[in-house]
Amino acid sequence: MPLPPPDVPREHIHSRNITLRGYRRTDGLYDIEGRLQDLRPMEVKMPRGMLPAGEPIHDMWLRLTIDLQGHIVAAVASTDASPFGASCASINPDYGKLVGVRIGPGFRAKVRSLFGGLAGCTHLTELLMTMGTAAIQSLAGHVPEPEDVRPFSLDGCHALDSSGPVVKEFHPRWYRPKDGAA
């Protein structure tokens, strides 16, 4: 269901589009590709000159290659458009530091420690933060979960509260009623 209509007239001034895609490779690995684009529907003054309406302010890509356990085995970043050209793109190779990182609990904290502040690009890092859940979704159904291992997604959001009805129905082994509840 879409949002209700706004109560007051408004003008569209900015769009950020994030696209994430997961691919199963023939070598048994998975590629997760992300793209972040910032666009304006009007001409805008940028440090590199006037940017025509609809041309991207930012157009950045990131590909993570992961194994079945979510370990990143390769990472590559690309910048097609940015406010400061080559200066912005010069950080791209640093995203290779992701090799060896596992997507799962603690992933966002690890990303912040590697690429926070001056150590990364705000836009590539934001894109990277969204890619963790896309990787997990891409692996879902391809990786058998042992019954004796608690799914790491439990207690990761309100729907997967260990004491809630979803866990009681779909993961009864890991259901933990609140005090006084049956």
Position 85, amino acid: G
Answer whether 161's CB lies under 8 Å from 155's CB: yes
The confidence score (pLDDT) of residue 182 equals 59
- DSSP one-letter string for the chain: -PPPPPSS------EEEEEEEEEE-TTS-EEEEEEEEEE-SS-EEETTEEE-TTSEEEEEEEEEEE-TT-BEEEEEEEEEE-TTTHHHHTTGGGGGGGTTPBSSTTHHHHHHHHHSGGGS-HHHHHHHHHHHHHHHHHHTTTSPPPTTS--TTTTSSGGG-TTSHHHHHH-GGG--PPTT--
The confidence score (pLDDT) of residue 73 equals 98
The pTM of this model reads 0.85
Reported as a single tens digit per residue, the pLDDT across 31-79 is 999 999 999 999 999 988 899 999 999 999 999 999 998 999 999 999 9
How far is the CA of 128 from the CAs of 66, 74, 122, 156, in angstroms?
A: 13, 14, 10, 18
Answer whether 51's CB lies under 8 Å from 60's CB: no
The confidence score (pLDDT) of residue 28 equals 94
Split at pLDDT 50, 70, 90, the class of 147 is confident
